[in-house]
């Protein structure tokens, strides 16, 4: 029986009758064909004849329905888009339960990308063949050597162990981006991002521990793309913030804690109640000040050399145009250095551009003088906090939450910012995760409105809810989202989704929701 331990996007790690997956099967022990019947790990897979038959099916499933074989994987891997289409066909027709086995494509530098795409079982046929030819695989690439089979098998074992750990720690995306020895591996990742954005976004977690954006391939990560789309197409600026001040990013996160931004904030402090600071950065795009502590803005790292890829420039320009079409300001001021000059033609007419070394006192004088010319409105500190948290709530959950939070108040208790109603905490800001946590009091509204809700059998959840106990999920849930837990419209708890919604409905084992209370 399949027992999933952890899931990351399409990738799974767990136990199949004592075998840890993802795994590379031994072609001398685990796989054989007898009388037209393929046997994988002792399970029979009726392939209707020889597996290379020209009239082969798209896939074959073993008697238990737990292993699915892609018979022509060796030809499909040369056309990654076709291979991904086959994988999604399997998921559409069979659900997410079967582990996918792709014969004869277990190339070590390709396996991480294939695991990320959703393949769990490989075999050692290719590695055995290449070992006979004197190819040895290392962490720095392949080389020619003698007696390489044992070394290559050890390399595979270590790689698979690392992949399992990466799935469990939710860092698999960083791992596959590092393994770029194979051009086909890069094609697989880019094809997933570009040609299957809806599927990738549906399965990708709403947050990961961090983002190491070390190359251009990171630009189209599903979480980053979703963030940019929400900022461009859904985000609304806080009321009362009539002046937009565009600023460059900083290495330190959140930006307002950096020495650069502290100096700017210190100089223009008396204007902050009317100024809306928006940071221009890559690969995130635009970061409004109230979202700087949320994911992904506070959790990414990128090498900075003062030069921008053309793809990055295009993304920023498009975001700026979309952003200002949706959000109008009385004044836009861009306080930028030379490397951001490319944004000038994307700013609204009448914008003021202050260019130069930002730490320069003269530049700060110019900024303060420009702000002093505008008619500035004042807000209380209380309203500032409410505005920030409500904007965070709309961004995290969607505009549908607006009527629910309209009459909520800001409270700070036990060093936590929260929105309260009738003295009850409803949404609590978790600084560690950068998101708002849902309380049981707020969960009642989620269940009534059919949002971010996991419906379970009639039991009282404790630490974990397993997939077998899940009966229904709302379409808006992504892995790592805050969710309400209910039975027959009765709130049974709140927690965090630990697998994508489709997996919750298809799997027999594995933690679907980690319960908080």
Domain extents for the chain? 2-203, 222-372, 381-515
Q: Which 8-state DSSP code applies to residue 499?
A: S
**Which of the four pLDDT bands, split at 50, 70 and 90, describes residue 285?**
very high
pLDDT digits (tens, 9 = 90+) for 16-58: 999 999 999 999 999 998 877 889 999 998 776 444 455 568 9
pLDDT score, position 369: 87
Beta bridge partners of 246: 278, 334
Give the H/E segment covering residue 517: none
In degrees and rounded to multiples of 5, residue 242 shows phi and psi of -90, -10
If 0-12 CB within 10 Å is exposed, 13-18 middle and 19+ buried, where does residue 407 land?
Answer: exposed
Does residue 362 register a pLDDT over 90? no
CB atoms near residue 263 (< 10 Å)? 14
The arithmetic mean of pLDDT across residues 492-513, rounded, is 95
User: How high is the mean pLDDT of the chain?
Assistant: 92
pLDDT score, position 50: 45
Which range, of 64-78, 136-150, 278-292, averages the lowest pLDDT? Answer: 136-150
DSSP 70-105: -TTHHHHTTSHHHHHHHHHHHHHHH-S-SEEE-TT-
The arithmetic mean of pLDDT across residues 334-362, rounded, is 87
Residue among 25, 1, 19, 5 at smallest CA distance from 98: 1
Does residue 356 register a pLDDT over 80? no
Strand order in the sheet with 243-248: 285-288, 275-281, 243-248, 331-336, 352-355
Name the residue with higher pLDDT: 46 or 155. Answer: 155
Q: Which 8-state DSSP code applies to residue 460?
A: -
pLDDT digits (tens, 9 = 90+) for 381-394: 557 888 899 999 99
Does residue 378 register a pLDDT over 60? no
pLDDT score, position 33: 84
Q: Which 8-state DSSP code applies to residue 237?
A: P
Q: How far apart are CA 404 and CA 389, in angstroms?
A: 13
Residue among 495, 493, 490 at smallest CA distance from 513: 495
Does residue 514 register a pLDDT over 80? yes
Work out the percent of the chain whose per-residue pLDDT is above 90. 75
The arithmetic mean of pLDDT across residues 69-84, rounded, is 95
Which range, of 111-120, 140-149, 323-332, averages the lowest pLDDT? Answer: 140-149
If 0-12 CB within 10 Å is exposed, 13-18 middle and 19+ buried, where does residue 383 land?
Answer: middle
Q: How far apart are CA 16 and CA 34, in angstroms?
A: 23
pLDDT digits (tens, 9 = 90+) for 438-486: 999 999 999 999 999 999 999 999 899 999 999 999 999 999 999 999 9
Does residue 320 register a pLDDT over 60? yes
Q: Which CATH class is domain 222-372?
A: alpha beta
The arithmetic mean of pLDDT across residues 189-203, rounded, is 96
| CATH number assigned to the domain with residue range 381-515, chosen from the 4 options 3.40.50.300, 3.30.470.20, 3.10.400.20, 3.40.50.1580 | 3.10.400.20
pLDDT score, position 415: 86
């Amino acid at each position: 029986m399949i027992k999933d331990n952890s899931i990351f996007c399409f990738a799974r790690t767990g136990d199949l009758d004592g075998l840890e997956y993802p795994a590379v099967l031994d072609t001398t022990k685990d796989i054989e064909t007898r009388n037209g019947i393929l046997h994988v790990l002792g399970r029979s897979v009726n392939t209707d004849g020889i597996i290379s038959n020209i009239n082969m099916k798209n896939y074959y499933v073993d008697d238990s329905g737990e292993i699915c074989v892609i018979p022509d994987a060796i030809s499909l891997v040369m056309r990654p888009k076709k291979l991904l289409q086959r994988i999604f066909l399997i998921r559409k027709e069979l659900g997410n339960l079967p582990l996918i086995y792709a014969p004869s494509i277990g190339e070590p530098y390709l396996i991480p990308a294939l695991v990320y795409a959703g393949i769990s079982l490989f075999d050692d046929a290719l590695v055995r063949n290449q070992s006979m030819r004197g190819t040895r695989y290392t962490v720095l690439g392949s080389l020619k050597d003698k007696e390489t089979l044992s070394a290559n098998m050890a390399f595979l074992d270590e790689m698979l162990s690392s992949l399992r750990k990466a799935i469990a720690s939710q860092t698999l995306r960083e791992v596959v981006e590092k393994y770029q020895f194979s051009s086909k591996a890069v094609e697989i990742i880019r094809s997933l991002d570009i040609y299957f954005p809806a599927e990738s976004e549906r399965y990708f977690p709403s947050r990961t521990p961090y983002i190491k954006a070390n190359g251009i391939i990171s630009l189209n990560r599903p979480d980053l793309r979703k963030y940019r789309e929400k900022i461009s197409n859904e985000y609304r600026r806080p009321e009362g913030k009539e002046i937009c001040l565009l600023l460059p990013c900083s290495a330190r996160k959140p930006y307002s804690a950096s020495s650069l931004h502290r100096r700017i904030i210190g100089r223009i402090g008396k204007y902050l109640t009317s100024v809306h600071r928006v940071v221009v950065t890559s690969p995130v795009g635009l970061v409004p000040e109230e979202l700087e502590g949320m994911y992904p803005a506070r959790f990414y790292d990128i090498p900075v050399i003062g030069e921008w890829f053309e793809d990055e420039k295009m993304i920023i320009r498009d975001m700026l145009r979309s952003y200002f079409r949706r959000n109008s300001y009385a004044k836009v001021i861009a306080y930028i250095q030379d490397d951001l000059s490319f944004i000038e033609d994307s700013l609204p007419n009448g914008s003021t551009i202050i260019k130069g070394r930002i730490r320069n006192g003269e530049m700060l004088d110019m900024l303060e003088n420009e702000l002093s010319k505008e008619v500035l409105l004042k807000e209380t500190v209380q309203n500032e906090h409410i505005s920030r948290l409500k904007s965070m709530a709309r961004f995290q959950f969607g505009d549908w939450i607006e009527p629910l939070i309209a009459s909520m108040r800001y409270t700070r208790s036990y060093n936590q910012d929260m929105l309260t109603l009738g003295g009850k905490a409803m949404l609590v800001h978790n600084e560690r995760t950068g998101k708002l946590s849902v309380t049981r009091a707020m969960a009642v509204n989620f269940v009534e409105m059919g949002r971010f809700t996991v419906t379970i059998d009639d039991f009282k959840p404790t630490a974990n809810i397993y997939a077998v106990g899940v009966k229904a999920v709302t379409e808006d849930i992504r892995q790592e989202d805050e969710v309400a837990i209910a039975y027959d419209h009765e709130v049974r708890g709140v927690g965090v989704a630990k697998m994508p919604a489709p997996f919750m409905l298809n799997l027999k084992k594995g933690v679907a929701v980690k319960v908080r209370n």
